[in-house]
Amino acid sequence: MLLTRTTTNTTIECAMPPHLDSNVDFGDCTHLYGPLLVRSDVSHVKLSGKTSEYIYTGCIRINNTKLVDLSFLEKFRDFTAMPNCQQYIAGNEELCVEDPSELREWFPGINIYDNMEPCGDHQCYGGAVTESYLEETAECTTRVGDLIITQWHGKPPNINILYKTKEIHGRLIIYHNQGLGDFDYFKNVEKIGKPSIRGGFAPLT
C-alpha cells in the first residue's frame, strides 16, 4: 500500500488509503488525513507503524463489511472531523458494537445503527418498562436503546430487576407516573448515552 505523504520537521503527514485492508502499515506516519473506509470482505483490521496512536483528521465510514471488532479505531482517538462529511458505522451484520457511547465520545456526530445489536448474553433492547418487559430481560445488565417508564400507577412487583442495570445505551425517560415513591432502581447505572444520529449523551430525565 502506497501512502501519499509530506514531511515537516518531525511531523509526517499521510493520506488515508482508499480502503483499509486486513493488514495496514502506516510506516513512520504521525498524522493521517482523509476518509476511513474498510474493504467489504475484511473481518479484522491490524495496523502497524512507528506510532502507537495517530493524529487523524478525517471521516469514519464503515458499512456493509465482515468486521467483527473495532479495536483498531482506538489508534485514531486524537480525531478531528472533516467538514460536511456524514460519519457512520452501519449495516455490519457480524459486528458487535459493545459500547457505542464510547465511540461517540471519540468520533462526535457518528451514526451507529443496523449492526449486530444487542450482542452478548447480558445485553437486551430497551423499550417501555412493564412487568412483562422486566421478566423477559431479567438477566440484562446492558440495555440498548431508550428505556421508557410512563403511565405507571405504582411499581411492578419485579421492579428490583432494574438494580442489575449497569449501562443504558440510550435515554432514560420517566414521565406521567404516579406512586413511584423512592425510586433508586437505577443507582447502579455506570454509563448512559443517547444512540441518536447526532451522538452525544443524554441526561437522566
Q: Which residue has the higher pLDDT, 201 or 157?
A: 157
Preceding omega of 35 cis (within 30 degrees of 0):
no
Could you tell me the pTM of the whole model? 0.63
Other Cβ atoms closer than 10 A to 139: 10
Dist CA 13 CA 53 (whole Å): 13
Does residue 187 surpass a pLDDT of 90? yes
Give the DSSP H/E element, type plus range, for residue 104.
Answer: helix 100-106
Dist CA 32 CA 176 (whole Å): 50
Query: Which pLDDT does position 118 carry in this prediction?
Result: 66
Query: Model confidence at 9, in pLDDT bands (50, 70, 90)?
Result: low
Cα-based distances in Å from 114 to 65, 90, 91, 94, 119: 12, 5, 5, 10, 12
Nearest to 140 by CA among 169, 116, 180: 169
Per-residue pLDDT tens over the stretch 87-111: 999 999 889 887 787 898 899 989 9
Query: Which pLDDT does position 124 carry in this prediction?
Result: 86
Per-residue pLDDT tens over the stretch 105-143: 899 989 988 888 667 668 888 899 999 999 999 999 989
Tell me the three-class secondary structure of 163-175, residue by residue. HHCCEEECCEEEE
Other Cβ atoms closer than 10 A to 66: 15
Query: Which pLDDT does position 1 carry in this prediction?
Result: 45
Cβ 40 vs Cβ 15: under 8 Å: no
What's the distance, Cα to Cα, between the start and end of the chain in Å?
Answer: 49
Query: Model confidence at 6, in pLDDT bands (50, 70, 90)?
Result: low
Find the Cα–Cα–Cα–Cα dihedral 67, 72, 74, 78, rounded to 10°: -110
Query: Which pLDDT does position 2 carry in this prediction?
Result: 43
Phi-psi region of 95 (alpha: psi -120 to 50; beta: other; left: phi over 0): beta
Per-residue pLDDT tens over the stretch 164-180: 999 998 889 999 999 89
Lowest mean pLDDT among 2-16, 107-121, 175-189: 2-16
Query: For the chain, what percent of residues have pLDDT higher than 70?
Result: 87
Per-residue pLDDT tens over the stretch 42-68: 999 999 999 999 999 999 999 999 999
Domain ranges of the chain: 5-113, 123-192
Mean pLDDT value across the chain? 87
Nearest to 73 by CA among 93, 91, 94, 46: 46
Query: Which pLDDT does position 116 carry in this prediction?
Result: 80
Residue with cell 467489504: 40
